[in-house]
């Protein structure tokens, strides 16, 4: 079972992601975090996820700062991350500055996100 960490400050998105992945038959163990600080704490305290889904616009620590912190840790420098955001200005440019970071616009179709997750997990195995 693959472990997915979804980081988003919107409870509805976290709940909908979990339910939609179950409905699609995804074999994921899903963990959640509400901001970048909580994400970094989970990455330090829990078993490493196979992939992180990261919102950008969050309180406490936004997604870009969180990704920078993740990439500074040699044990996480190749952890796959999918950036999920409704803000698309300069998204491609920012994503391309990081290794193994992908993007997807909100709102997203659950089946499309599952395909993207599965594709990335297969290629990083």
pLDDT, tens digit only, all 125 positions of the chain? 999 999 999 999 999 999 999 999 999 999 999 999 999 999 997 679 999 999 999 999 999 999 999 999 999 989 999 999 776 666 666 777 788 999 888 888 999 999 999 999 999 87
What is the per-residue pLDDT for 89? 65
CATH of the domain at 68: 3.40.50.2300
Q: How many other CB atoms are found less than 10 A from the CB of residue 32?
A: 19
pLDDT at position 52: 98
How far is 13 from 50, CA to CA, in rounded Å? 20
Q: How far apart are CA 76 and CA 66, in angstroms?
A: 12
pLDDT of residue 85: 79
* Residue-number span of the structural domain to which 36 is assigned: 2-123
Check residue 88 and give its pLDDT: 66
Count of domains observed in the chain: 1
């Amino acid at each position: 079972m693959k472990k997915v960490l979804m980081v988003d400050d919107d409870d509805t998105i976290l709940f909908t992601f979990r339910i939609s992945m179950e409905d699609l038959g995804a074999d994921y163990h899903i963990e959640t975090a509400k901001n970048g600080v909580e994400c970094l704490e989970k990455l330090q305290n829990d078993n490493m996820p196979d992939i992180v889904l990261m919102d950008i616009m969050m309180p406490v620590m936004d997604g870009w700062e969180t990704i920078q912190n993740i990439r500074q840790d040699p044990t996480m420098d190749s952890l796959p991350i999918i950036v999920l955001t409704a803000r698309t200005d300069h998204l491609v440019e920012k994503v391309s500055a990081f290794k193994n970071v992908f993007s997807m616009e909100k709102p997203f179709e659950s089946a499309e996100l599952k395909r993207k997750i599965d594709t990335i997990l297969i290629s990083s195995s």
